[in-house]
Structure 1
Amino acid sequence: MKKIMCVAVLSSALLAVSSSFAQEQQTPAENTLSPKFGIKGGVNLTNMYVKDVSDENMKVGFNAGFFAKLPLGRGVSIQPELLYTSKGAKETYDNFIEGEGEYRFNLNYIEMPVLAVFNVAKNFNLHVGPYIAYLAEANIKDLEDNGTIDEIADLDTDDFNRIDYGVAGGLGIDISNFTIGARYNYGFREIGKSGSLAGALTKDSKNSAISLYIGLGF
């Protein structure tokens, strides 16, 4: 009897899971699964992380670009995106030589995530996958305590690793052709080139970003 009850419970659980993943990747007005293409944009809350450094501060940036949603079946899609995204961090300093101030690392990437999207409820999805990015522009600014803003001319884009890569994951809510969501990007590659001034200033840290976005599909 216990075995029968266990089988029944397991079957019910599997049925519930299967049912949740069987939600359609389509709007109520559509009769069939079809690819979608759209535009999206939003806000980035970015930082740089490294094991032995805790004094970086979160920086506000932006993300904007295009996406495609390619259904593989009911409830499962592949979503490639092409984004222009702003990352980096703020780091405060306070010492006898420089005084008080803040370094602001502004790193702008052309980024391409490729995400697997799973509908776990009618209008709710989870997504996860890798990303690769190309550093299009970089500048470091010194915001001194007296209000002076200086750009550190000794550092430019060539002092940083051009290619970044990592994983991204998050959740989204789809309402008809509109989507809103939140995502976390976790970089695997050091931002500054090893042995360079950029590497020393960033302390061999890597990109970290929370993205909040809205999108419109067609």
Structure 2
Amino acid sequence: MTKKTILLSFAALTMSFAAMSQARVGIKGGWNLSNITTDNSGGTKDSRSLSGFNVGAIVDLPLVPKILSFQPGVFYTTKGSKIDAGTKSGATPTSPYLKTSVNPSYIEVPLNFVAKLPVGPSVKLFAGAGPYFAYGVGGKFKNEVYNGVTTVTTSTNIKWDDDTPFNGGDPNKALDKFKRFDWGGNVQVGAEIKNFLISAQYGIGFAKIRSGQDNSTDNKDKNRVFSVSVGYLFGGR
């Protein structure tokens, strides 16, 4: 190994340690507005957006100090959609009112690359993108039916299949279940004001979330989530 190679390797190692020494850990949380698409073009048919939340932690790892960072994180986040059909006020037995919602919740790991633009001594604007990977942990199906006389409300836990990224022969698949694993991509924009973060993000699920076989006639449901979040990064700017 030449002296030049040794010096370059030492310089790269030094820069890596310097970047790691500037790493900051933060907390972040906010409001979700989610929906579930029903076809490959991204249409949602009769489904409507459902409110939820996200909360978790991120790490800001500078790749180019003050300009480019890698931001992995781990979050608890809710997704889903709802459907309202009919009219509850004045409804008759021939035109009942139906309200149904599904709100799966996940442990989600985003892996974002974030570009930053300093616009003041303590203010940076940023934009980022990256993939996410999620694991389903809970949620409920809720139904409310009004036939003009009585209202019947039911609530059941979401059932998850036993599918994994390494198991393609799961015998427990069924369309009344959700796939345990989800993945997709997200884009975000926001501002970093001193150590505070304000951001808006849109997540696009790439994986079919309903269990069952993958074929041209199968359900095409996929997650879509718009989020507005605030956060705080501990450590120096």
1:79-100 superposed Cα distances (whole Å, 9 cap, x missing partner): 0010000000002344978932
Match of 1:6 in 2: none
Can you list the C-alpha shifts for 1:158-188, whole angstroms capped at 9, x where unaligned?
3210000000001010001100100000001
2:160 partner letter = T
Q: Is the 8 A contact 1:132 1:166 kept in 2?
A: yes
Given the two structures, how large is their TM-score scaled by the length of structure 1? 0.76
Among residues 3, 28, 38, which one is paired with 1:50 in the alignment?
Answer: 38
d(CA) in 1 for partners of 2:74 and 2:101? 25
CA shift in 2, pair 1:53/1:72, >3 Å: closer
- The answer on whether the counterparts of 2:36 and 2:44 sit within 8 Å (CA) in structure 1 is no
Residue segments in structure 2 that go unaligned for 5+ positions in a row: 1-19, 88-92, 162-176
Runs (4 or more) in structure 1 with deviation over 3 Å come to 93-98, 145-148
Q: What TM-score comes out, normalization by structure 2 length?
A: 0.70
Residue aligning to 2:228: 212
Bigger strand fraction: 1
Aligned-partner SS, 1:57 = coil
Aligned residue among 100, 106, 110 for 2:107: 110
Structure 1 residue 149 displacement after superposition: 2.4
Give per-residue Cα distances to partners, 1:140-162, cap 9 Å, x unaligned.
Answer: 11022455421146x52332100
Counterpart CA distance in 2 for 1:33 and 1:173 is 23
> 2: distance between equivalents of 1:121 and 1:149?
52
User: How far has the Cα of 1:120 moved from its partner?
Assistant: 3.1
1:137 aligns with 2:134: no
Give CA-to-partner distance per residue, 1:31-59, whole Å, 9 cap, x none.
x9811101111000000013365211000
Map 1:170-209 to 2 at 5 A. 170-194=188-212, 203-209=219-225
Aligned counterparts, 1:11-50, within 5 A? 34-50=22-38
Counting helix residues as a fraction of each chain, which structure ranks higher?
1
- Coordinate RMSD, CA, aligned: 2.5
**Counterpart for residue 86 of structure 1:** 78
Using the aligned pairs only, state the percent identity. 31
Task: Measure the CA separation in 1 of the matches of 2:182 and 2:94.
Answer: 33
The aligned length equals 181
